[in-house]
Amino acid sequence: MARVANALHVGIAGLGTVGASVIRVLAQKSEELTRQCGQNIVVAAVSARDKSRDRGVSLGNAKWFDDPVELAKFDGIDVFVELVGGDEGPARKSVAAALERGKHVVTANKALLAKHGIALAEIAESKGVLLNYEAAVAGGIPVIKTMREAMAGNSVSRVFGILNGTCNYILTRMEAEGISFEECLKDAQRLGYAEADPTFDIEGNDTAHKLAILTSLAFGSRIAADQVYMEGISNITQADIRAAADLGYRIKLLGVAQQTESGIEQRVHPTMVPTSSVIAQVHGVTNAVAVETDILGELLLSGPGAGGNATASAVVGDIADIAKSQPGFQHGPVFGRPVKELKPYRKAGIRSHAGGYFIRLTVHDRIGVFASLTKRMAENGISLESIVQQGHGQMKSAEKTVILVTHETTEAAVRKAVDAVTSDGLLVDKAQVIRIERAE
């Protein structure tokens, strides 16, 4: 199509649920966006795998490209929107090509940024163009813009949150309906909340990628997605859900990053948070991100974390920001600081966690078990806040469940104590260890 005067020309690669939603929103909100941005936003070109597929939206006179890399190089666009996905292949090549050509880029691709974000940021900054990625973390929640622009002058000490809607949906339903993880996962897949292969979500990889991006913004460090300690939710049982409720907690999969004296700690794992905390009230596919700072205090952002409309809203917001920028405007750095000023990532050891640990043990019901358990804990310097014996109808008469809640201690001490208990032959099944997180 011919270029339109006083317009920002956009090329969109990837016409799945999100891509189609972006085109729909740009069409429906065209007049309002023009008023807000001072110029029209025109979808000038698109790329996808199947040209014949009906996506429920009109592509108008947009030029079609089979290859997203060729679209990225097309002189008829000012902004390249990457919605292809994946951390290599067409996604990486097309984004790099667009930046090298001096085009602004908008992406929703957290995997790409987690692996190649620093290299891509270097290109963007050298070419004086924007690399916007609001949709890559927490869907429609404007956490990237908030941390990158609105919190200037604040020093962040901790950022944490619920960053994966699939896991939050599963844990919410397990608690509300008393069903197993496996049953809930099948429902999530049927409803489209979980992929056919859900591993990336339920084992924590998706959360880890998003957390690594937030860590860079929070602490001015280079992205280090491969340095995130990671546990998923596939081993969470109804016994854990019930025990948490009895103790006044709710289980959430949290991503947590914090600055310590020895370095930066990044971790993703099931966590018990007090039911009275705000983050414990975040249910279903909703996401939430909390940022703790020295000036502002704690900021909590919550909202839709996935879905066509939520992600499209973030993508359109990024495009609108580009449309509002003036020619010759010096754009801010991609990760809040120029790439050359980002510090090398320095990993901290997993340290003490306020609130301690929840340890669930299924043990043989015999004399001396309690004494052996408490002895092993004491040997490793672990102080117990409570010790509770539970029994349920489905358990064998020769078995008991023992719930230990510790005071503040270390990961190493807990693991060493549990290994000793296991070596003593006291356990019927593998021990369950869940951190208890301060989540004011």
Q: Which residues are catalytic?
A: 210
C-alpha pair distances (Å), 69 with each of 12, 14, 83 = 11, 12, 13
Cα distance from N-terminal residue to C-terminal residue, the chain? 53
Burial (0-12, 13-18, 19+ Cβ within 10 Å), 341: exposed
* Alpha-carbon span 116 to 93, nearest angstrom: 11
* Alpha-carbon span 46 to 82, nearest angstrom: 10
- For the chain, helix (H) and strand (E) counts, in that order, are 14, 16
Burial (0-12, 13-18, 19+ Cβ within 10 Å), 263: middle
Other C-beta atoms within 10 Å of 226: how many? 10
Q: Which residues contact 202 (CB under 8 A, 6 or more apart)?
A: 166, 167, 170, 185, 194, 232, 233, 234
Retrieve residue 430's tokens: 């593998």
C-alpha pair distances (Å), 341 with each of 216, 335, 337, 338 = 12, 10, 6, 5
Which residue type sits at 213?
Answer: I
Other C-beta atoms within 10 Å of 415: how many? 15
Cα dihedral sign, 315-319-324-325: positive
* Alpha-carbon span 104 to 106, nearest angstrom: 7
Closest by CA to 102, choosing from 83, 125, 70, 118, is 125
* Alpha-carbon span 99 to 126, nearest angstrom: 9
* Alpha-carbon span 258 to 267, nearest angstrom: 9
